[in-house]
Structure 1
């Protein structure tokens, strides 16, 4: 069944060697597994109590579309940038400090961004339906934006020395990279799961299936099966 193709309108099934276009509708065929349930199949499932809407259908573990894969990759990149140089200390001594180094010091609040990415990884990976992905949009957006908020605070409110020892520091590429990753991750989290899939179009049950009324189809041509 995996090799079968079907017409998205009349739901007629075709083998791979039977062409790429529907003989009745003259449209391109699509993989059978990509089609939602027909109206007849949906009605039967409702009667049997087994109806599953497309947004609740389980996705394979490696389905990385609808922002799922992008957010996982960005979470890993965000953790990577957390260990990159954020600050170049010039005085009292020359030193490079990463976000990790700053968090271990007096800026313990910087742990929030890294923690957000750690939580995002299992949170997004374990969501295996479109509805589940859409359901975590708010929390995913919050977690993805933590680093962006931290970078904004550091840029707008730079730390001031609290002693008589002069301190001079400059922000480096790691900080800006972290902010950019968080910004992109936040925008993707806002649309996580994408839009709801469209339901199947109604099928014309009055369509004539008699080969004798189709002059363009030979009478001895086997009739393709119809997907229900």
Structure 2
């Protein structure tokens, strides 16, 4: 009979220092700030002309999504909750706030971004330069995205500075989350256009005390029984 050696935290730390990753990675340390980026559930688009974009409520499917989403969210801890001013984001957060007995910070900076240029972009058998050449108005789009990424990098930094070491839940919108994620990944307009974010999805980022940022996961819809009926290819134009 042989004994199984128990690995201690000290053993693991020594092992990591011997690996290439362990020697190269920057120092990081807690307290860690966890930020959950929650896209709103499905709104009633038939009401948009009547009540306006800001006041679209969730439809029947959206209410069902919210119920399933909240089963997942209620298993997570949150010290503070942010929502945009838009009704669909606030309704998505409503049950979670009641159950957790939290009052949201309603932040207009998290309102949806109007992005109208959606293109299908080929990936295989072409270089990065060729892809860029094939995208109409690439320079204009990338310049606009750079402005958005700078804006949301500052917003995220502000939220982090005010809530270091806390668990934060942000109920917001697809283009807001795309802007945040692509600002972390340092991607261009092609990267922005290539991300599909489902309604009622959860993405998570973690920030250490020094401000190092890691994306933990993107677009988690494991709480839903089926993938939402949403596909950017339906709206994207051929290049």
TM, length-normalised to structure 1: 0.26
Choose 1 or 2 for highest CA Rg: 1
* Structure with more of its chain in strand, by fraction: 2
Q: Output the TM-score relative to the length of structure 2.
A: 0.25
